[in-house]
Structure 1
Amino acid sequence: MPGENLTRAEAIERAAVVHGVESYAIDLDLTTGAETFSSTTVIRFTAAEGGATFLDLVAPHVREIVLNGRALDVAAVFTDSRIALADLAADNEVRVVADCAYMNTGEGLHRFVDPVDGEVYLYTQFEVPDARRVFATFEQPDLKAPFQLSVTAPARWHVVSNQPTPEPVAAVHATEPAVEAARWEFGATPRISSYLVALVAGPYAVERGEVTSADGRVIPLGVFCRSSLSQHLDAEAIMATTRQGFAFYEGTFGVPYPFDKYDQLFVPEYNMGAMENPGCVTFTESYVFRSKVTDAVRERRVVTILHELAHMWFGDLVTMKWWNDLWLNESFAEYASTLATAEATEWEAAWTTFNAMEKTWAYRQDQLPSTHPIVATIDDLEDVQVNFDGITYAKGASVLKQLVAWVGREEFISGVSAYFRKHAWGNTELSDLLVELEATSGRDLTAWSKIWLETAGVNTLRPEIGTDADGVVTSFAITQTAPADHPTLRPHRLGIGFYDVDATGAVVRTRTVQVDVDGERTEIAELVGTERPGLVLVNDDDLAYAKVRLDDASLAFAVEHLSRIADPLARSLVWGSAWDAVRDGETPASSYVDLVLGNIAAETESTTVRTTLAQLGLAVRSYVDPARRAATSERVGDTLWQLARAADAGSDLQLQLVKYFAALSSTSAHVAPLRGLLDGTVVLDGLAVDTDLRWELLEGLVLLGDADEAEIDAAQAADDTATGRQAAARARAALPTVAAKERAFSSVVDDADAPNAIIRATASGFVHVVDPAVLEPFAQRYVDALLPIWETRSYHIAEELIEGLYPAPLASAELRDTVRGWLDAHPDAPAALRRMVVEGLAGTERALAAQAADAA
């Protein structure tokens, strides 16, 4: 990606020259053809007189650049992604006319053609640096401005942006005069950052509603999706969650919703879950459920809706000055959305979900060689691209939960509310938030910030418990350790729970105390003299961010009684502790397989089931001793099928067990139930074998060699939709032969035409294997492709390929040595590229250590 980076130093220098951006007027013509669109940008800004700076623009053709009435030589001033502006006046106007390119990568202005009806759908995705693919801009978050868009498009389309959609006026279609066109002239936005500008256009279906804001305004709501998906759009449920979020956030923050309307648009081939464009939030259309989904996915949609709504305050109203404070956006939105989900919606166990999913992500990310502080060092755009990770989102939110426990919820919320009011429409840094929290809490947060936000790594907490012959606690301490690379020991406010079997046979909490833990060892005097329970749970209620171990007696009790622990959060903490011990090579992976197979059928929380079964898959295919892998895989498949047959009819558990049986099937004996479910000769009461489940069953048969490309082609013909084509690409890539893997690899690496969603699906199928030996030829093939991918693809496509095609299932010394060899031979490779490769290698090294522990 030569010539498209921007350093923090350059951004600081530009902000010193550009004193303020008064306005953008952006005129886009979307009727100029299928490859490019016309973009005219007029920017008014003040600057240091006589100074020089640059604009950002990525475009195949720039037609005109006029600065303060003076036409500039395009060839002389436009290079790579920059337009040089020299001899500035105090007040400036620059006009740039360009032909910008539609993308199929999910960046800039993405263009999608629906295979169902041939309709064209467009949407923008600008975070981090991709507004410059649509209009000329000062592409950095602290140069906020009002943005006014005018858009010419087919008259029958919906055209949606940050501001309310105006009545269109008749216009001329640039390439098809017979086609009726229209022009939409949107009002100017409030002062926002360039990455938050949004445009969505096409024949979307829409359902409308409204919500009354705390200040009495009636805020229009819109929910959009492609026309061919509209029969599946449950807009009322989406708007109900939105209304709950409005009431919760406005009531909690004490600041009314800051924009004029709130549209939510589910768009095709999206790279992420959602994006918080003010008043024009875009979501992955996988949240439009065309088939039955698990409760985990339904809850995740609620959390995502509330996450993006929280961004209207965290990130949109108040925005970080530079990307090192990205956590001010993402950590806060993650924390706030979980809080809102738990307290304002039906998903009252959202903190259990947070522990099972988000904190698992955070702990995993924080143990990689690439871990970084929450307030990260961001030297350039490539740095920030790779920092949309488990540290910035999940660890940051976990640490905020810890901060709330430390300073008090009322004090925390008061500080945040003051922060919004003081910095509305501006840009901030960490210190701006700390000032407000210190004022409301009365605490000096300087030391807390340095320890929690400005250092990396996760601590491990272990109980040390002494008892006498009668089972009375004679000593109780919490020990804390830190990894050698990140040796910081931190203070923790946490709970310690005592759990025992009650008269009904359930395991319930009998006592809990909240304590402060700091340093290498903390004595807990108040627990001395009490009777030792069956289970002692450190970090009860999950207030702290730390890995937790159970003492030997508690571990034995938990393994025996896990399914009877009444509190789902306590169960989640035990599940998490057991898994983490496997990842660290302290517990054999085979014992974790036993734990899951023996207890998963009693688990009530959908996300805990989903996360645990995914971890079971990783354990059996990468962490179990290779000498026993085949037998263990067979047992896992057999047991999952038995449990699915025994599960309650139509239950969420039944659906998840069938899905994971299909994903983890491994022997010829598993063919019959998969084939029977697919052709209807095997029936499970309450299980609907709908379109998406049929694809999962078919892929299971593909893995076992019982379905071929012809059957995949027939399935695609029956479901020739965007989702069907992606499922078919994944299934073809899962065919268990070296030749099929080579076709899949080549189709996305050697051929640059595949769109982002097909690349993602193909990579997912490529690494889905029963016998990892089929991937052995691809270790060298993978590393040989790294630099060509990085040098020729956009960032998001490079990321999809480099992370998605890493042949992790090999989990072998040969893969480790091949990847190490590439890293050693390319010390000067771009840092973001090296980080992705290092993270893949770290996974392989961890798998090898786990295999050794399992074999011991």
Structure 2
Amino acid sequence: MDAVSLTRTEAEQRARLLEVIRYDIEVDLTGLLEGETLRSVSTITFRCHEPDAETFVDCAADVDLAVLNGRELDLTEVSGGRIPLSGLQSDNVLVVAASQSDTASSTGILRTVDPSDGLVYVWTSLECDEARRLWACFDQPDLKAPHRFTVTAPESWTVLSNMRPDSVDEPVAAARVWRFPDTPPLSTYVVVVNAGPFHEVREQRGDHSLGLYARQSLRPFLERDATWLLDTTESGLAFFGDRFGQPFPEAHYDQVFVPNMGGAMENWGCVTWTDAALHRSTPTHAQRQQVALILLHEMAHMWFGDLVTMRWWDDLWLNEAFASWAATWASAHATEFEEAWAGFLVGRKLDAYRLDMGPATHPIRNAVDDVSQAMANFDSITYAKGQSVLRQLMAYVGEDAFTRGLQSYFRDHAWGNTRLSDLMDAVAAASGRDLDGWTSEWLDRAGTDVITLDGDELLVESPDGGTPRPHRLDVGSYDRTGALVGRLEVETHGARTRLEGLPAGAFVLPNDTDLTFASVRTADGSIRDLIGRAGTLPEPISRAVAVATAWDLVRHGEAGSHELVDALLGALATEKDPTLLEPFLAFAREAAELWSPPAEIEGQLRRVADQALAMSGDPDLRKPALNVLAACASTAAHDAALADAAAGDVDLAWRVAARRAERGHHDEALLADLVARDPDPDAAHRALTVTAARPERAAKEEVWEELFTRRSVPAGTLTALVAKSFWRPAQTSLLVPYAHRYLDEVAAISGGMLSILSLVRTMYPVVADEEFLARSAEVASRPDVEPTVRAILAGSADTLARMVKARADRD
């Protein structure tokens, strides 16, 4: 059913008119064991403040029956996913029976058959307005209400929801009925029903019973990681409970790892996230750090998003940015990942700079006229720039004041809905600072300020030519060996701020500890000298700032890719911090193959491979070094080292096979052997990474069919791996026609938000001609294209254009 997107005006009108008392929702999953249909009966008890008024309830499923206060409604009036409601009374009961058979597109729900054992799993993910696709509801965030679920499911399945079940009936006709108690007052987008024959790990940790679930075929990987996952969960709950001033109130906290999900969802008490997080080989430090951040991000939403919820989607940025900020904050304080902020800079924050300094920039806080536009804001400005700005706010007011402000915010607004002003008022009251101007400057203006050190002054330039934002940052002074001489805390005001008391040194690094969001330069160009010494700086965060600045120079054409590769390889020669090692290796590979002139690519990749080979002798560095070596290998020495290592590491063997296929040495027998020996139930999809790398049209066609026609490749990590293998820079002439086909595909793409984000973003080409760049801009401007797709195209086209220019330039 084509469903109309709810507008802000409609939501405000409905919120003034209605008060939802409760939802009682019966869900029948028995049709999903061997079929495609979910059935539901939603009973909504609600009040109307204006008797005899009219409104509508959302239901984008096939409506079989609708009864309002005992009166059967005319189903011919159902249109656009809406059931008209007229003649409302002060107190109302609406009952809607519906069915949904679109359970394969990830639109609110996904039914998956595990290819290794034939077992069926079902998960739901209802942000932003996907609850209406499964049952009738008033699907907007500010009509919160308790939900009571009763779920009928095949007898072999475990059913998971926001609450632990009150009871589970004995099987009748091969089915069980699971009855769950009332949730607290929740928005419709954070309730959940997951089901299947899950493997469960459960332990009591402190005041909480912690549950982990995954499909049976992933049992070895879940059990391998279970203790660490539970430890991190326990630490996170304790940290947030303390810092936010109240513990998580439920006795349980469950995390469900599900197939073919491109991300994670913060359902109250029952977080659902991609089972790609259960790595099929021993995870590296960076992979474990990313899992910890996802875990803590979704956990932070229990307070910010679930307990206290934004009133409308224009504050979605705050919902997501806060969770990302809180996850990094908790990671640095409560886990082994103490250098989490350095990891954030060389990970998510660099992508925010990329987007914010291009044509796809937008203010962090945007007007959202309807829900479809909210989806377009799921980008790096929402998440990573928003996170950076919250870190800047904490630096601006002080951590103690910021924490006190958060505690009062959660205390005063628990189970309610808020706007940004409610949070800022709480922080302002705790800190004693007027934040009205700060809020407007940082959240309502797009683009990235440039901070330049000019003698003993900091010059701040706004991208829109207006008054620069205020910045609280540290300025570091270093001697010629890279040793820190001293650091000055600075708060800028206006275009020029004099530095009083900065210790003299040979080099100065503005924003040394990365407290603010800005592009940094030095008027005398000495920043490039410091970048060349990045590996000598004493602290991981400073080394990360130096490398991030080098990336910024390359993106803006102020330095060549060879300078960046030189800086990265110099830093890698001495780098020992695992938080930086993997990103630096990945950056070196990317700079070599995507930003270098074609004639230099192989030579630069060989340099990166040689460095990775040298690092692979260190047991602590071996795995990430071998992964990069596999992607860049070009000599007999590289191949020999990889052959020995891959014999006992199937993940590495896949990487080696893809590189060999790219170089024209595909081995079909080896491919079959890898599928057979890989314990991953998705091994057949992993084989597509090898097929995708082959420089042959038939191979590209096979992969294209799986990605865009059958949509068979699981969203998230696997889609990204296949995409990276598909778009090989050395295969430009073969791939340009597929770049144009990509635009044809995404212009008409549909499906669930997470799957769209995964496929459209990762499959954006890294090869193109001028016609493609022009067409990409044209498609991005078309109003009939999904807003999410338009936003991805605009930002990705800018990056590709910069790559193309860098490939043509040579200092």
TM-score by length of 1: 0.89
**Contact 1:292–1:690 (Cα < 8 Å) also in 2:** no
Q: 1:219 to 1:688 in 2, by over 3 A?
A: farther
**Alignment partners' CA distance in 1, 2:648 and 2:547:** 30
* Residue 228 in structure 1 maps to residue 188 in structure 2: no
CA offsets per residue over residues 382-428 of structure 1, 9 Å max, x none? 21112122112111111111111111111111111001011000000
Task: Determine the structure 1 residue equivalent to 2:208.
Answer: 219
**Contact 2:406–2:426 (Cα < 8 Å) also in 1:** yes
**Alignment partners' CA distance in 1, 2:412 and 2:677:** 57
With 508-517 and 595-604 compared, the bigger mean Cα shift is at: 595-604
Q: Which residue identity does 2:773 align to in structure 1?
A: R
Q: How does 1:340-739 map to 2 (within 5 A)?
A: 340-465=330-455, 476-484=456-464, 487=466, 489-500=468-479, 507-527=482-502, 531=504, 533-550=505-522, 552=524, 554-555=526-527, 557-625=529-597, 629-630=598-599, 632-647=600-615, 649=617, 651-665=619-633, 669-670=634-635, 672=636, 676=640, 680=643, 682-683=644-645, 689-708=648-667, 711-719=670-678, 721-739=680-698
Give how far 1:329 is off. 1.7
Give how far 1:610 is off. 2.8
* Residue 63 in structure 1 maps to residue 64 in structure 2: yes
**Alignment partners' CA distance in 2, 1:301 and 1:759:** 18
Q: Which residue identity does 2:762 align to in structure 1?
A: G
Give how far 1:829 is off. 4.6
**Contact 1:249–1:310 (Cα < 8 Å) also in 2:** yes
**Alignment partners' CA distance in 2, 1:16 and 1:763:** 47
**Alignment partners' CA distance in 2, 1:674 and 1:509:** 38
**Alignment partners' CA distance in 1, 2:287 and 2:90:** 53
State the secondary structure of the residue aligned to 1:66. strand
State the secondary structure of the residue aligned to 2:511. strand
Q: Which residue identity does 2:30 align to in structure 1?
A: T
**Alignment partners' CA distance in 2, 1:819 and 1:561:** 39
Give how far 1:720 is off. 7.0
Give how far 1:4 is off. 3.9
Q: CA RMSD in A?
A: 2.4
Task: Determine the structure 2 residue equivalent to 1:189.
Answer: 183
Task: Determine the structure 2 residue equivalent to 1:471.
Answer: none
Task: Determine the structure 1 residue equivalent to 2:27.
Answer: 28
**Alignment partners' CA distance in 2, 1:363 and 1:561:** 23
How many residues matched? 805
With 634-643 and 199-208 compared, the bigger mean Cα shift is at: 634-643
**Alignment partners' CA distance in 1, 2:760 and 2:299:** 32
**Contact 1:104–1:111 (Cα < 8 Å) also in 2:** yes
State the secondary structure of the residue aligned to 2:483. strand
CA offsets per residue over residues 620-676 of structure 1, 9 Å max, x none? 333223xxx23x3222332233223322535343322221232234xxx44x45654
Q: How does 1:334-345 map to 2 (within 5 A)?
A: 334-345=324-335
**Alignment partners' CA distance in 2, 1:823 and 1:561:** 41
Q: Which residue identity does 2:26 align to in structure 1?
A: D
Q: 1:699 to 1:343 in 2, by over 3 A?
A: same
Task: Determine the structure 2 residue equivalent to 1:9.
Answer: 9
* Residue 90 in structure 1 maps to residue 105 in structure 2: no
**Contact 2:113–2:121 (Cα < 8 Å) also in 1:** yes
**Alignment partners' CA distance in 2, 1:755 and 1:645:** 32
Q: 1:800 to 1:690 in 2, by over 3 A?
A: same
Give how far 1:321 is off. 0.4
* Residue 809 in structure 1 maps to residue 767 in structure 2: yes
Task: Determine the structure 1 residue equivalent to 2:805.
Answer: 849
Task: Determine the structure 1 residue equivalent to 2:78.
Answer: 78
Q: 1:63 to 1:829 in 2, by over 3 A?
A: closer
**Contact 2:310–2:316 (Cα < 8 Å) also in 1:** yes
Give the % identical residues.
38
**Alignment partners' CA distance in 1, 2:721 and 2:262:** 12
Task: Determine the structure 2 residue equivalent to 1:469.
Answer: none
**Alignment partners' CA distance in 1, 2:671 and 2:252:** 44
Task: Determine the structure 2 residue equivalent to 1:473.
Answer: none
* Residue 237 in structure 1 maps to residue 193 in structure 2: no
CA offsets per residue over residues 189-241 of structure 1, 9 Å max, x none? 000101100122111111112233xxxxx321111112221122221111111
Q: 1:299 to 1:329 in 2, by over 3 A?
A: same
**Alignment partners' CA distance in 2, 1:30 and 1:280:** 18
Give how far 1:690 is off. 1.6
Q: Which residue identity does 1:548 align to in structure 2?
A: V
Q: Which residue identity does 2:232 align to in structure 1?
A: T
With 708-717 and 397-406 compared, the bigger mean Cα shift is at: 708-717
**Contact 2:317–2:377 (Cα < 8 Å) also in 1:** no
Give how far 1:166 is off. 2.9
**Alignment partners' CA distance in 2, 1:690 and 1:457:** 44
State the secondary structure of the residue aligned to 1:547. strand
Give how far 1:832 is off. 3.9
**Alignment partners' CA distance in 2, 1:821 and 1:186:** 50
Give how far 1:52 is off. 1.6
* Residue 773 in structure 1 maps to residue 733 in structure 2: yes
State the secondary structure of the residue aligned to 1:326. helix
Q: 1:264 to 1:483 in 2, by over 3 A?
A: same
Q: 1:689 to 1:581 in 2, by over 3 A?
A: farther
Give how far 1:570 is off. 0.9
State the secondary structure of the residue aligned to 1:259. coil
State the secondary structure of the residue aligned to 1:809. coil
**Contact 1:101–1:133 (Cα < 8 Å) also in 2:** no
**Alignment partners' CA distance in 2, 1:107 and 1:830:** 14
Task: Determine the structure 2 residue equivalent to 1:316.
Answer: 306
**Alignment partners' CA distance in 1, 2:272 and 2:753:** 20
Q: Which residue identity does 2:543 align to in structure 1?
A: R
Segments of structure 1 that go 5 or more residues without pairing to the other structure are: 213-217, 466-475
CA offsets per residue over residues 419-475 of structure 1, 9 Å max, x none? 10110000000111122112111111110110011211111111112xxxxxxxxxx
Q: How does 1:22-171 map to 2 (within 5 A)?
A: 22-33=21-32, 34-47=35-48, 48-59=50-61, 61-74=62-75, 76-101=76-101, 103-171=103-171
Give how far 1:160 is off. 1.2
Q: 1:688 to 1:339 in 2, by over 3 A?
A: farther
Give how far 1:615 is off. 2.9
Q: 1:720 to 1:569 in 2, by over 3 A?
A: closer
**Alignment partners' CA distance in 2, 1:786 and 1:220:** 43
Segments of structure 2 that go 5 or more residues without pairing to the other structure are: none
**Contact 1:258–1:312 (Cα < 8 Å) also in 2:** no
State the secondary structure of the residue aligned to 1:540. coil
Task: Determine the structure 2 residue equivalent to 1:257.
Answer: 248
Q: Which residue identity does 1:816 align to in structure 2?
A: L
